[in-house]
Amino acid sequence: MRTREAETVEANYPVHSTWNRVNVFPLQTGGIGLVIQEKPADKRMKLIAESQSNAMGLALAGASLEDVLDILVLTVEKNAGHKVYASILLVSDNQQFLQHGAAPSLPDYYCKAIDGIEIEDNLGACGTTA
């Protein structure tokens, strides 16, 4: 506000997983005024579209499936304000097991432990859900 001119900025507010447009303007009294407008849907949709485009570009350039899936997982995590860790599990060719697809924010020991889990009722959240 040194220039004493109004400005508009956009900011991520991770506590509530929202994007906000903040209009900042000088007050005649010497202070500043703020008008904050939540814009979660706009920013999220833009982020999703950009990540889909990036993932498609990587796939067309011959990147590995894991690199392509990493982009999508990181988008989910960012949209959640980095309050969640996400992963993608793939179904094996014989449709009996889950295989590691992508989990860029999860530790390697988790990815190794979950890789190859059987698809079966009452076999953990992932195996039961699949």
pLDDT digits (tens, 9 = 90+) for 76-127: 888 777 778 999 999 999 989 999 999 999 999 999 998 998 888 877 777 7
Domain residue limits at 19: 7-38
Residues 46 and 109 in one domain: yes
Residues 31 and 52 in one domain: no
Residues 33 and 94 in one domain: no
Predicted TM-score of the model (pTM): 0.61
Residues 50 and 101 in one domain: yes
54-80 mean pLDDT:
87
pLDDT tens-digit readout, 20-56: 778 887 777 777 777 777 766 666 777 778 888 888 8
Quickly state the pLDDT bin for 70 (edges 50, 70, 90). very high
CA distances from 106 to 85, 87, 91, 119 (A): 7, 8, 19, 21
Residue 124 covered by a domain: no
Residues 29 and 53 in one domain: no
The pLDDT score that the predictor gives to residue 107 is 95
Residues 47 and 79 in one domain: yes
Residues 12 and 59 in one domain: no
Residue 2 covered by a domain: no
Quickly state the pLDDT bin for 2 (edges 50, 70, 90). low
Nearest to 51 by CA among 111, 112, 123, 104: 104
53 torsion bin: left (phi>0), alpha (psi -120 to 50), beta (else):
alpha
The pLDDT score that the predictor gives to residue 40 is 60
Residues 48 and 87 in one domain: yes
What is the total count of domains within the chain? Answer: 2
Residues 47 and 82 in one domain: yes
